[in-house]
Structure 1
Amino acid sequence: MTRSPKTLLSLGTVVLGLALVQCKKQDPVPTAAPPPARSAEVSAPSAQAPGALSDVVKARRPQGGEYLGLYLVDKKVGYLFTDLGVIPGREDRVRSINELHFKANVGSRLSERIHREERIYEARPGGRLLAFTIEQRGDGGTQTLVGNVTPSGISVVRKRPGLADETVSLPATKEVVEDADPVRVALLRQANVSGHMLDGTDLGTYPFDVTVQPTEQRLLSGVQVKVGKAVMVSEKEKVPVTSYVAEEGQVLEMEYGQTMKARAEPEAVAKRLDLVEVFGLTRVVLPRLLPEEAKGIPGQVKLVMENLPEKFQQDTYRQKYQAQADGKVLVTLSARAPEPKALKPRPLKDPEGGKNLETSIIIESDNPRIRELAEQLVGPEKDAYTAAKAIVAWVAQNLKKDYGASADRATDVLRQRKGDCTEHSLLTVSLLRAAGIPARRVDGVIYMVNQDGVPALYWHEWVEAFVGEWTQMDPTFDQAVADATHFGVGQEGNAEITPLIGTLKVVEVK
């Protein structure tokens, strides 16, 4: 099982992305032809003692890889395939393969995403990550990223159908061969381990920790067997992933919070999916309609919620929390325009140290096309809030709402000029940062009454900009101030909030 906890974390991001669909137009998505398979390059052998192999190779695992079915709220939505081993004929190299297939109905149409990673490492203990190939198809666009790693950095060639190849230079990564399967390494050593992983979506490197737990008894094929147990937490996702591994090395199950699980299955069973309808599965049904004042600016609404963990109950300028009986919490949502006296001229410093002004392979705020458009939209305007409103309005009016045009990069959104709430937010944040305005994406739920007439909260994404104080804005619905029907629970497409999907409840509207 190679990098399986991390692969499941990546699934969390995909689940979140598919849940953020209520703002999308349900048009058919053309089936993209899969790109030709490409193998990561293998560099020349390095000097090492014969037989000096990493513990990740010594750990027991099923020969030929393994399949796990993926379940969201007990519904089958996809599967994983993972494998790891020494490359035949190259005993000094290890290949790790991870494939994620996700498939679900979104409204009236079918959405599918395929994410495949192949990574090459030195086989020695502490062996370096040398190269990787990442293939993405379906929702989010089709592209292949071919990376070669050096001690000083990473050179990535981005290949997309019908477009010229692009080369991106990234900082060096600390990932080593043991990080390819840290759970099995920890169980083999019977010791906690820490490491780093290069994320397959944003290509950032994030630390993680794996903690070994006491062994447990599990029922397998009608027989009680002893299984190893380990919990992995990534600094990016911050969601514990618990893995149960049989003595012979097979991963039996992984738990991602209370919402998602991966279960060992034969290949044919793993690939047999339920075709879940995401809208009905992930929405939060309300006991009654929200009052009209929730939609005004200023506006306010109060909701009594269940299954909202304490870590999400942090008071902000928009959201206040008050504990109730039986674990319930009263959430007060409010919306107002920023205080005129607080407004400042751009460019502004990021009150959080600079991360909300950073560029990345996804945000691309330093891209010449992004910077040029930002300059055109804001012109000589110095007031940050006025400039931010101009950017939000332009995105709202110039991006066609089209679910079939999903894209994972800001420049792709700008080129296509269409997309859903995630594309609207991604491009807006990119333009805001290019204009010297700290900004970030906000994930949460928004109130809507769909065609079935049921009032509910649907997963959605919008933005937050610092214009002298933080203010939330919604480019999908052209709101210079996101109204009080928005309930934010996370940032930047982070899968940390995914365990809320299918568990969060609203029991009263006040």
Structure 2
Amino acid sequence: MTRTLRPMSLALVALCALLTGAPSAKAAAPAKAAAPAKSVSLPADASDVLKAPRPQGGEFFGLYLMDKKVGWLFTDLVLVPGAVPQVKSVNQLVFKALVGTRLSERNHREERVYEAKAGGRLLSFTVTQRGDGGDQTLEGTTTPDGKLRVVRKRVGYADEVLPPMPAPKEHVEDADQARVALFRKAKVEGFSLDGMDLETYGLSTTVEAPEQRTLNGVKVKLGKASSLSQKEKVPVDSYVTQRGEMVLVDFGKTMQARKETEAVAKRMDLVEVFGLTRVVLPKPLPEAARAVPGNVKLVVQGLPEKFRVETYRQKFAARPDGGVDVTLLAAAPATANRKPRPLTDPDGGENLKSTLMVESDAQAIREQSKKIIGDEKDAYRAAQKVNTWVATHLEKDYGASADRATDVLRQKRGDCTEHSLLSVALLRAAGIPARRVDGVIYMVNQDGVPALYWHEWVEAFVGEWTQMDPTFNQPVADATHFAFGYEGNAEITPLIGTLKVVEVK
């Protein structure tokens, strides 16, 4: 798959957005022809990304979550001849699923242009987003003075020129590290400029031992490359035929991209993601879990060690059978530890940063934050004011997503992701370090089944860290909240379908 990590990371981010949006087949056979050559000759100094074999005309993939199709991907990479040859990379993701009773659809398309020579620079890109999350286009160009100029375009708004950014570290080989690594039979390391947040992340791909797979009744030897982005931090395994066709991309036991014809790839199941991905409990949680202070104890299986990081809210104890005892806690921050704002971020500044999504420096966000908080200096009381305002002023609408804090403020509706995103932006604008927390929350829906559903809430530093839930207007998030990660990171998605609660104590 062209730029293996890019479409998969988009798929994972879209999946994360759907899963935290509310609290409530065989691979196709290889085509007959696949060749690296186009109708033009390669330049003498051409990058290995052009020399590695690949199908002409691009590739379509069906995207499967727990064996249910929830979307499709298209990828392509071509040489653009000229006085200075260039490479054009295209990646498109369509993600479509039911969120409760509402249909959610995201369409994300990226086009990137690089120098065609070995180590060629990223020259420009266009990122187009449509559907759930909002519509916008980002156009980026590397300027002669070594900067990245990005223009954000939205219907009904004046074009917005973002502050200048450093020139991208991404090179043409990073457009398809999997095929380059298999072509070279060696590890490839580079960088990825993320099309969602415009941040740069390390990216590497290693060559693994070939594997035998049966495709449409025929045993085929497939090359295997494992890619890792420092954003998702989840290995993505790509399987490629000797002729350069990628037939399968494996994301753990949770998600797969399977090569299909265009017609088959675009024919999707209508999947309700909450019911599909929830963690069913053996019995309801005790009422003590909803008290503050409060606690609850669970016996969990399928929780990797990297998620067993002890905090002021979560404690873990390994069991002989490979499971883990989990204690979830909830308590208000100690009065003696509370500090006046503005505060210094204990994590070095990331939790005060204004980003393409958080937009805490936007005038509308700053003005609203000031209006809500007024002259309140105590950081915790100020955070409570933000939490209450968001909870009471945003309409809970599980079909009205927005990926930018200013859009949430304008539309004043959304699900838990919108509540959390706007809260974090307002808190950072007030000088309170804050971040979004991803995990699960306890609920009993209409079918009467006690379960943990994917959810997002907020953590703020007020002299010590404290969690709050603006979706449910909880100034202290109760002990029914089980956290796995931060900021919508797709690192948590391998837990889907593998996490099990076997006992409620």
**Could you state the TM-score of these two structures normalised by the residue count of structure 1?**
0.93
Partner of 1:377: 372
Maintained 8 Å contact 2:68/2:271: yes
CA distance in structure 1 between the partners assigned to 2:347 and 2:52 by the alignment: 42
> Any conservation in 2 of the 1:442–1:491 contact (CA below 8 Å)?
yes
Matched, 1:70 2:63: yes
Alignment correspondent of 2:17: 17
Question: Which range moves more in the overlay, 225-234 or 372-381?
Answer: 372-381
Measured in 1, the distance between the counterparts of 2:280 and 2:43 equals 61
The Cα shift of 1:5 comes to 2.5
Aligned-partner Cα distance in 2 for 1:135–1:90: 28
Moved more, 75-84 or 164-173: 164-173
For residue 156 of structure 1, give the secondary structure of its aligned residue in structure 2: strand
Structure 2 residue aligned with 1:439: 434
Counterpart of 2:228? 233
Alpha-carbon shift at residue 50 of structure 1 (Å):
4.9
User: Which deviates more from structure 2 when the two are superposed, residues 486-495 or residues 49-58?
Assistant: 49-58
Structure 2 match to 1:341: 336
1:495 is the counterpart of 2:474: no
Tell me what 1:140 maps to: 133
Which one-letter code corresponds to 2:247 in the other structure? L
Q: Give me the whole-angstrom Cα distance separating, in 2, the residues matched to 1:311 and 1:356.
A: 22
Residue 351 of structure 2 is aligned with which of 326, 336, 356? 356
Residue 159 of structure 1 corresponds to 153
Deviations 1:430-487 (A, max 9, x none): 1111111111000000111111111111100000000010000101111110000000
Q: How many pairs are equivalent? A: 486
1:296 to 291, 294, 306: 291
How far has the Cα of 1:2 moved from its partner?
1.4
**Preserved contact between residue 5 and residue 243 of structure 1 (Cα < 8 Å):** no
| Contact 2:5/2:229 (8 A) holds in 1 | no
- Identical-pair percentage: 65
Distance 2:389 2:215 in 1: 57
Query: What amino acid sits opposite 1:336 in the alignment?
Result: A
Does the 8 A contact of 2:485 with 2:491 survive in 1?
yes
Specify the code of the residue in structure 2 equivalent to 1:11.
Answer: A
The aligned amino acid for 1:21 is G
Query: In 2, are the aligned partners of 1:5 and 1:254 still within 8 Å (CA)?
Result: no
The answer on whether the counterparts of 2:459 and 2:466 sit within 8 Å (CA) in structure 1 is yes
Partner SS state of residue 321, structure 2: helix
Partner residue in 2 for 1:322 = 317
The answer to whether 1:106 aligns with 2:99 is yes
CA separation in 2, counterparts of 1:23 and 1:252?
A: 35
Q: Which of residues 199, 214, 217 is equivalent to 2:212?
A: 217
Q: In the alignment, does 2:181 pair up with 1:186? A: yes
CA contact (8 A) 2:188 2:205 kept: yes
> Does residue 394 of structure 2 align to residue 399 of structure 1?
yes
- 8 Å CA contact 1:133, 1:146 repeated in 2: yes
1:164-184: per-residue Cα shift (whole Å, max 9, x none)? Answer: 221113332101111100111
Alignment match, 1:3: 3
Contact 2:23 2:443 in 1 (8 A): no
Report the equivalent of 1:35: none
Unpaired stretches in structure 2, ≥5 consecutive residues: 25-41
Shift in Å, 1:139: 0.9
1:56-96: CA deviations, max 9, x gaps? 11111010000111111111111110000112556611100
- Rounded Cα–Cα distance in structure 2 between residues aligned with 1:50 and 1:492: 43
Distance in 1, Cα, partners of 2:275 & 2:155: 34
127-136 or 156-165: bigger deviation? 156-165
Q: For residue 86 of structure 2, what is the amino acid of its counterpart? A: R
Task: Letter of the 1:388 partner, please give it.
Answer: A
- In 2: Cα distance, 1:84 partner to 1:359 partner: 33
Take 2:445 and 2:310, find their aligned partners in 1: how far apart are those partners? 30
Partner of residue 418, structure 1: 413
Match of 1:118 among 96, 111, 122: 111
Mapped contact 2:103–2:399 kept (Cα < 8 A):
no
Query: Match of 2:85, SS?
Result: strand
Letter paired with 2:16: L
Q: Is the 8 A contact 1:463 1:472 kept in 2?
A: yes
- 1:417 is matched by which residue type in structure 2? K
Residues 93-138 of structure 1: CA deviation (Å, up to 9, x unaligned): 1100001011112222221111100011111111111111111111
Spell out, residue by residue over 1:213-239, the C-alpha distance to the aligned partner (whole angstroms, 9 max, x if none): 122222233332221111111111100
**SS of 1:157 mapped into structure 2:** strand
Distance 2:339 2:260 in 1: 57
Between 169-178 and 480-489, the greater mean CA deviation after superposition:
169-178
Q: Which amino acid aligns with 1:101?
A: V
Q: Which runs of 5+ in 1 are unaligned?
A: 25-48
Q: How does 1:75-86 map to 2 (within 5 A)?
A: 75-86=68-79
Q: CA separation in 1, counterparts of 2:67 and 2:56? A: 28
- Is the CA contact 2:150–2:161 (under 8 Å) kept in the aligned structure 1? yes
Q: Which residue of 1 aligns with 2:244?
A: 249
Secondary structure of 2:399's partner? helix
* Partner of residue 504, structure 2: 509
What SS is found at the alignment partner of 2:9? helix
Q: Could you say what secondary structure the match of 2:440 adopts? A: strand
Q: Is the 8 A contact 2:212 2:222 kept in 1?
A: yes
CA RMSD of aligned residues (A): 1.4
- Residue 59 (structure 1) aligns with: 52
For 1:288, the aligned partner's letter is K
Deviation string for 1:192-226 (max 9, x for gaps)?
01000111111111011111112222223333222
Q: Does the residue aligned with 2:371 lie in a helix, a strand or coil? A: helix
Question: What is the CA deviation profile of residues 300-335 of structure 1, one whole-angstrom value per residue up to 9, with x for unaligned ones?
Answer: 111111111111011110000111232111110010
Q: Give the equivalent residue in structure 2 for 1:198.
A: 193
Tell whether the 8 Å contact from 1:23 to 1:401 is kept in structure 2 after alignment: no
1:93 maps onto 2:89 in alignment: no
Partner in structure 1 of residue 30 of structure 2: none
Give 1:168's aligned amino acid: L
Residues of 2 paired with 1:232 and 1:410: CA distance? 31
Q: Secondary structure at the match of 1:141?
A: coil
CA deviation after TM superposition for structure 1 residue 6, in Å: 2.4
CA–CA separation in structure 2 for the residues paired with 1:14 and 1:303: 29
**1:152 Cα deviation (Å)?**
2.9
The aligned amino acid for 2:74 is F
How far apart in 2 are the matches of 1:315 and 1:330?
12
